[in-house]
Structure 1
């Protein structure tokens, strides 16, 4: 059964809303692009982090394990596409929802 965080991130993808949350004790501002499960069966999301705190430079792609996410809120704002797509993503192995395939191609 999907977690509450999973449901909110999924809604954010469908409605192209930004997500503000805490991940590994750091505030993050993200635009989620792909959600599902990783090879271990954990709920994960591939998101473009454009603001907040990070151990590296921002903006950048993030693979978030949703069990480590808290205080999830959706907000309206500019949708951030992220950087180049030169390599195939390896974050989500069992894709439930991909904004580029399931959402935007319907329009």
Structure 2
């Protein structure tokens, strides 16, 4: 497991915000699930602030992220962000290492 993966797991377990760079853009996230998809490290996160190549909807958006493209990870204290549709089945991670429990 990569150092980035370990920080994403910590973010889930402690419900801490995670700030990082993904595909060259600053992201502010609340990670909901982290694990593997087809053997590659991935995470499902709710992006509540930061940048996006397509823009960020008011209130935020769900993101499926390949952790190999994540750099500059920082865990931060702050409000936990999600959307009401968090209970919909996700397809981003098929082997879960850590997941937020509601």
TM-score, normalised by the number of residues in structure 2: 0.90
1:42 is matched with 40
2:12 is matched with 13
SS at match of 1:80: coil
Cα distance in structure 1, aligned partners of 2:96 and 2:76: 24
Cα distance in structure 1, aligned partners of 2:28 and 2:44: 13
Q: Which runs of 5+ in 2 are unaligned?
A: none
Post-superposition Cα deviations, 1:39-96, rounded to whole Å, max 9, x if no partner, equal x210001000000001243310000100000000000000012241464110001111
Structure 1 contact 37–92 (Cα < 8 Å) conserved: yes
Question: Residues 74-89 of structure 1 correspond to what in structure 2 (within 5 A)?
Answer: 74-85=75-86, 87-89=88-90
1:91 is matched with 92
Cα distance in structure 2, aligned partners of 1:78 and 1:57: 18
Count of paired positions: 99
Greater strand proportion: 2
Quickly say closer, same or farther: Cα 1:86–1:16, change in 2 above 3 A: closer
Aligned CA-pair RMSD: 1.3
SS at match of 2:75: strand
Runs of 4+ in 1 over 4 A off after TM superposition: none
